[in-house]
């Protein structure tokens, strides 16, 4: 089955292009300490707001710091937030959705009403409210995005469990006396993760956008630590004299988010068995 999924995914040229960009960005972020031509926090008063040239390929900011170096290091912060925040949200969502879908009844009603209540709050403003109470930091951003973004995953997993728990293989497992925990994690969970993988891909793109927005507002990654969002803040303050501070990080965010969305679309098509026969 995995060969079929990979073959179908590989046929989607846009998804493959997105995957290539994601892998390239991951490599750049991992090797940023070796690739970055300058120290991302080193101030150079002789090169303040220098335009792109042979020495500083993407120019410098208002403190003379190299923008290319800051963007390479900033990719680490953005991708770290994306992956860890989504890992937190997926863990919570899978746990809540599995309990609600498998046991049903009052447990399902209580958990889903809590999910509905969480969905009623605008997520970004809920994040702003939490960050206003605690000290902004990259760790805080990851946790807050994670604990405010699990509701859709919970609903997806619940829907899968409601269907799968009625299948014959689950009835057979109950017949031989298997425990609920073993049935959930050994038999139902592996068969319900396809939509979770798709949601995770889209979730990483959303988390990167949220982190960039928070850093742009000064509530995310705090200077002097670089992120794409706080580089954009410098661009906003110097938009009339330093266009490169807005253009390059903006393009980086656009390409990254678009790549994850393309991969998510490709996964959704590749994991849909209804399309296998139609397109084979």
- pLDDT tens for the chain, residues 1 to 280: 667 778 888 888 999 999 999 999 999 999 999 999 999 988 888 888 899 998 999 999 988 999 999 999 989 888 888 899 999 999 999 999 999 999 988 999 999 999 998 888 777 777 777 777 877 778 888 888 888 889 999 999 999 998 888 888 888 888 888 888 888 888 888 888 888 888 899 999 988 888 888 888 887 788 888 888 888 888 888 888 889 998 999 999 999 999 999 999 988 888 876 555 445 5
What is the rounded distance in angstroms from the CA atom of residue 87 to the CA atom of residue 121? 21
Q: Model's pTM, two decimal places?
A: 0.87
H helix intervals, 104-184: 105-120, 123-133, 138-147, 151-164, 168-175, 180-182
Q: Which residues contact 62 (CB under 8 A, 6 or more apart)?
A: 48, 49, 234, 237, 238, 242
Q: Which helix (H) or strand (E) holds 86?
A: helix 67-103
Say which residue the tokens 């953005």 belong to: 78
Q: Give domain 2-39+62-279's CATH superfamily.
A: MetI-like (1.10.3720.10)
What's the pLDDT score for residue 275? Answer: 54
Residue 165, pLDDT score: 86
Distance of CA 267 to the CA centre of its chain: 15
User: Residue 203 in contact with residue 219, Cβ under 8 Å?
Assistant: no
Q: Where are the domains of the chain?
A: 2-39+62-279
């Amino acid at each position: 089955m995995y060969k079929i999924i990979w073959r179908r995914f590989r046929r989607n040229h846009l998804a493959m292009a997105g995957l290539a960009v994601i892998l390239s960005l991951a490599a750049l972020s991992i090797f940023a300490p070796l690739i970055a031509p300058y120290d991302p926090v080193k101030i150079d008063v002789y090169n303040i707001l220098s335009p792109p040239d042979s020495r500083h390929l993407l120019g410098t900011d208002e403190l003379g710091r190299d923008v290319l170096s800051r963007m390479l290091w900033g990719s680490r912060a953005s991708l770290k937030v994306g992956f860890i925040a989504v890992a937190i949200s997926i863990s919570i969502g899978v746990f809540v959705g599995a309990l609600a879908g498998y046991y049903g009844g009052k447990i399902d009603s209580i958990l889903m009403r809590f999910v509905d209540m969480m969905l009623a709050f605008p997520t970004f403003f809920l994040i702003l409210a939490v960050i206003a109470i605690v000290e902004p930091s990259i760790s805080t951003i990851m946790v807050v995005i994670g604990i405010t973004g699990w509701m859709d995953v919970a609903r997806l997993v619940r829907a899968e469990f409601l269907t799968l728990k009625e299948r014959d293989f689950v009835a057979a497992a109950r017949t031989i006396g298997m425990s609920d925990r073993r049935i959930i994690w050994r038999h139902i969970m592996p068969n319900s993760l396809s939509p979770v993988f798709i949601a995770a891909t889209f979730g990483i793109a959303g988390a990167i956008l949220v982190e960039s927005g928070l850093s742009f507002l000064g509530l995310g990654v705090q200077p002097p630590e670089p992120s794409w969002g706080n580089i954009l803040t410098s661009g906003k303050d110097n938009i009339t004299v330093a266009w490169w501070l807005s253009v390059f990080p903006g393009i980086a965010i656009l390409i990254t988010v678009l790549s994850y969305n393309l991969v998510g679309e490709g996964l959704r098509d590749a994991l849909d068995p209804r399309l296998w026969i139609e397109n084979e």
